[in-house]
Structure 1
Amino acid sequence: MSTLPASGAPVTVIGLGLMGQALAGAFLAKGHPTTVWNRSAAKADDLVARGAVLADSVQSAVEASPLVVVCVSDYDAVHQLLGPVGGSLAGRTLVNLTTASSTQARETAEWAQKLDAAYLDGAILALPHAIGTEEATLLYAGPQATFEEHRATLEVLGAEATVYLDEDHGLSALYDLSVLSIMWGVLNSFLHGAALLGTANVKASTFAELAVTAINVTAEYASAYAQQIDAGEYPATDATVNVHVGGMTHLVEESETLGVNAELPRFFLELAKRAVAAGDAENSYASLIKQFRKPSA
């Protein structure tokens, strides 16, 4: 089957939360006939005013386009909505941009295959306002032929960073959750730092500039540590785990002394101490990957 042109290819969007509205809006902006559906029909008002067609049911929404994009709260909602009309998915491509686990993504791919539907599982690494701009990154996993068939349409959502990963449907979810882990790690650390400085009446906005600098500097470690992790060798080219333990100990003590929640730095310290006990005291911080690879107790 030939790849559809960048404009003019019909598409359906199911789910009109903030992200779903942004997805549908991006398709409309590039001239795609766009059908939409949402439990609360009023959320489609702006899109309809811009040219979208509001379907009167999930089934009619699915049957309106060869490409169906769903973005709802979770995978249970995906199956609740599409399960009853599964027969209508036959011969169509379902692109699921709902956040979930890799296991759910693979199970949904098997479900779609039984319905004779092509399936791509995707992940959105962007806020709604960035959809349709070069700031948006979207990841896709599933059959490459299916992705290539609809690439031109999907690139509307993030032309500069529409990334095909692999045939394994679970990879998009794995990447998504891995990136979210980074986001929450950084944000929680910033909030902890802001709480510490707040005890000295330093405003978070004052701290933010230096915090961003620190985040950017720390980001440089990722590439170097990635090479060590892949090689399975952890030379301490910057600091040993023992040195980090010393710094973490001070962070815990400072937090406790100032009456700031110390759970986060205690967790950092506990992991580092486990690495020391495992023989990684003189290795680089990247050696803590061994601790993360172990299942939690």
Structure 2
Amino acid sequence: MHASTSAQAPVTVLGLGAMGQALAAALLDGGHPTTVWNRSAGKDEELVAKGARRAATAAEAVAAGPLTVVCMTDYDASQAVLEPLADTLRGRTLVNLTSDTPERAREAARWAAEAGIDYVDGSIMVPTPVIGLPDALILFSGTRSAFEAHEPSLRALAGNLPFLGTDPGLAAVYDLAMLNIFYSAYGGLLRSFAMAAAEGVTAADFAPFALEIGKIMPPIIEGIATDIDARTYPGAQANLAMMAAGVEHVLHAGRAKGVDMTGLEAVKASADRALAKGFGEQGFTSIFEVMRTDEPA
């Protein structure tokens, strides 16, 4: 059912945690008639005051329009709500913004296809205060025609809505890979602050220099991507053997001050495996060869 695709099309939101409330509020701000439902009572009061329609049941909420957006803790929670709604959802579009793994997204898509439901999976890449703003990023994958039909409504949620492909797991793939960068970098930054603090350097004094490292990363990311796709790892400027020695110096200094260096020790372990495979004269990016699986899933 690809109906009601105007900018003011009705939308249903299932799940009113902090993110679900932000999604519903953005839809209301965008002028969409918005129906809301949550498993536990009391989380819809502000939304109802803003004009949302409270549904007594999830089935009533889904029946209110052609597009249902669900955002819950994980796919166990979302599927527990959605599976009894298969008949009501049939012929409608389901956009699942619940965070989980790529395979869980694919399982949900298979269930939806068998039930005659147009399925789009999505990953929200911003915190709740950014929802609805032009800079907000939400990744999508799944049924392209359903995404395109309801894109005007989804634009109330975020200004940046890349559609990654028809594999419904792709949004989660990108999501988790991006979060790995975030959490790994966050941990590395905290470790650096700990190393500086161990030598009497305040976080405020070190922070501007941490920012300098951040500035050099964009071209490095682009270069790494080019090398990985070409499976060539030039090492003339800085080969793996030299870089691994640098990592060891950092580890030695941190350990000497009692800093937890676990994260960087994992990098060194990967570097050592790559060295053992003969990549010493190639670039640091050659570590990818011992991290990757032989073939994509």
TM-score, normalised with respect to structure 1: 0.95
Secondary structure of the 1:41 match is coil
Which AA in structure 2 matches 1:178?
A
Percent identity between matched residues is 39
Match of 2:165 in 1: 166
Match of 1:287 in 2: 286
Match of 2:44 in 1: 44
Question: Could you tell me how far 1:139 is from its partner in structure 2?
Answer: 1.0
Of the structure 1 ranges 245-254 and 214-223, higher mean CA displacement relative to structure 2 is found in 214-223
Q: Distance in 2 between matches of 1:237 and 1:96?
A: 47
Q: What is the CA deviation profile of residues 103-157 of structure 1, one whole-angstrom value per residue up to 9, with x for unaligned ones?
A: 1111100101111110000111111111111221111111211111001111111
Secondary structure of the 1:162 match is coil
Question: Could you tell me how far 1:237 is from its partner in structure 2?
Answer: 5.0
- Please tell me whether residue 220 in structure 1 is matched to residue 215 in structure 2: no
Q: What is the CA deviation profile of residues 174-226 of structure 1, one whole-angstrom value per residue up to 9, with x for unaligned ones?
A: 00000001001110000100111111232323322321221221232110111
- Please tell me whether residue 200 in structure 1 is matched to residue 186 in structure 2: no
Q: Distance in 2 between matches of 1:118 and 1:197?
A: 53
Secondary structure of the 2:13 match is strand
Match of 1:189 in 2: 188
Match of 2:6 in 1: 5
1:3/1:148 contact within 8 Å kept: no
2:4/2:66 contact within 8 Å kept: no
1:96/1:120 contact within 8 Å kept: yes
Gaps of 5+ in 2: none
2:141/2:171 contact within 8 Å kept: yes
Match of 2:176 in 1: 177
Q: Distance in 1 between matches of 2:220 and 2:120?
A: 33
Q: CA RMSD in A?
A: 1.4
Q: Distance in 1 between matches of 2:205 and 2:150?
A: 46
Shift in CA distance, 241/156, structure 1 to aligned 2, threshold 3 Å: same
Which AA in structure 2 matches 1:46?
E
Question: Could you tell me how far 1:2 is from its partner in structure 2?
Answer: 6.2
Q: Distance in 2 between matches of 1:264 and 1:81?
A: 38
Q: Distance in 1 between matches of 2:39 and 2:200?
A: 47
Gaps of 5+ in 1: none
Q: Distance in 1 between matches of 2:208 and 2:3?
A: 50
Q: Distance in 2 between matches of 1:186 and 1:103?
A: 26
Match of 2:239 in 1: 240
Match of 1:114 in 2: 114
Which AA in structure 2 matches 1:93?
T
Q: Distance in 1 between matches of 2:155 and 2:261?
A: 44
- Please tell me whether residue 273 in structure 1 is matched to residue 272 in structure 2: yes
Shift in CA distance, 2/15, structure 1 to aligned 2, threshold 3 Å: closer
Which AA in structure 2 matches 1:190?
L
Secondary structure of the 1:139 match is strand
Shift in CA distance, 79/264, structure 1 to aligned 2, threshold 3 Å: same
Which AA in structure 2 matches 1:123?
S
Q: Distance in 2 between matches of 1:2 and 1:61?
A: 17
Which AA in structure 2 matches 1:77?
A
TM-score, normalised with respect to structure 2: 0.95
Taking the TM superposition and a 5 Å limit, the aligned residue runs for 1:16-27 are 16-27=16-27
Q: Distance in 2 between matches of 1:237 and 1:28?
A: 56
Which AA in structure 2 matches 1:230?
D
2:59/2:88 contact within 8 Å kept: yes
Q: Distance in 2 between matches of 1:64 and 1:214?
A: 51
Shift in CA distance, 228/171, structure 1 to aligned 2, threshold 3 Å: same
1:3/1:151 contact within 8 Å kept: no
1:89/1:117 contact within 8 Å kept: yes
Work out the number of aligned pairs and report it: 293
Q: Distance in 2 between matches of 1:15 and 1:3?
A: 22
| Runs of at least 4 residues off by over 3 Å | none
Which AA in structure 2 matches 1:236?
G
Which AA in structure 2 matches 1:195?
A
Of the structure 1 ranges 286-295 and 265-274, higher mean CA displacement relative to structure 2 is found in 286-295
